[in-house]
Chains A and B, each alone.
Chain A
Amino acid sequence: GQQVMQIPQYQHVQEGEDFTTYCNSSTTLSNIQWYKQRPGGHPVFLIQLVKSGEVKKQKRLTFQFGEAKKNSSLHITATQTTDVGTYFCAGLPYPGTYKYIFGTGTRLKVLA
Chain B
Amino acid sequence: NAGVTQTPKFRILKIGQSMTLQCTQDMNHNYMYWYRQDPGMGLKLIYYSVGAGITDKGEVPNGYNVSRSTTEDFPLRLELAAPSQTSVYFCASSPRTYNEQFFGPGTRLTVL
Q: Chain A residues in contact with chain B, CB under 8 A?
A: 1, 6, 30-31, 33, 35, 41-45, 48, 50, 88, 90, 92, 98-105, 107
The segment from B20-28, B38-46, B75-83 that touches chain A is B38-46
- Besides A42-B106, A90-B43, 18 more A-B contacts (Cβ < 8 Å) are A33-B101, A42-B104, A42-B105, A43-B90, A43-B92, A43-B101, A43-B103, A45-B100, A48-B100, A50-B98, A88-B42, A92-B98, A99-B45, A99-B59, A101-B45, A103-B42, A105-B41, A107-B40
Q: Do B97 and A45 touch across chains, with their CB atoms under 8 A apart?
A: no
Identify the closest chain B residue to A44 (Cβ).
B103
B74 on interface, CB distance cutoff 8 Å: no
Q: Chain B residues in contact with chain A, CB under 8 A?
A: 31, 33, 35, 40-45, 48, 50, 56, 58-59, 90, 92, 97-106
Q: Least Cβ distance of A11 to chain B in Å?
A: 14
Q: Classify the interface of chain A: helix, strand, loop or mixed.
A: strand
Which of the residues A31, A33, A99, A102 comes within 8 Å of B42, measured between beta carbons?
Answer: A102
Identify the closest chain B residue to A2 (Cβ).
B59
Which of the residues B41, B50, B101, B104 comes within 8 Å of A100, measured between beta carbons?
Answer: B101
| Chain A hits for B98, CB < 8 A | 30-31, 48, 50, 92
Query: A33-B101, A50-B98 given as contacts; is B106 within 8 A of A100 (CB)?
Result: no
In the complex, what distance in Å separates the CA atom of A41 from the CA atom of B37?
Answer: 12
In the complex, what distance in Å separates the CA atom of A62 from the CA atom of B41?
Answer: 24
Ordered by A's residue number, 30 sampled pairs between the chains whose C-beta atoms are within 8 Å are A30-B98, A33-B100, A35-B101, A42-B90, A42-B104, A42-B105, A43-B90, A43-B92, A43-B101, A43-B103, A45-B100, A48-B98, A48-B99, A50-B98, A88-B42, A88-B43, A98-B50, A98-B56, A100-B45, A100-B101, A101-B45, A102-B35, A102-B42, A102-B43, A102-B44, A102-B45, A103-B42, A104-B41, A104-B42, A107-B40
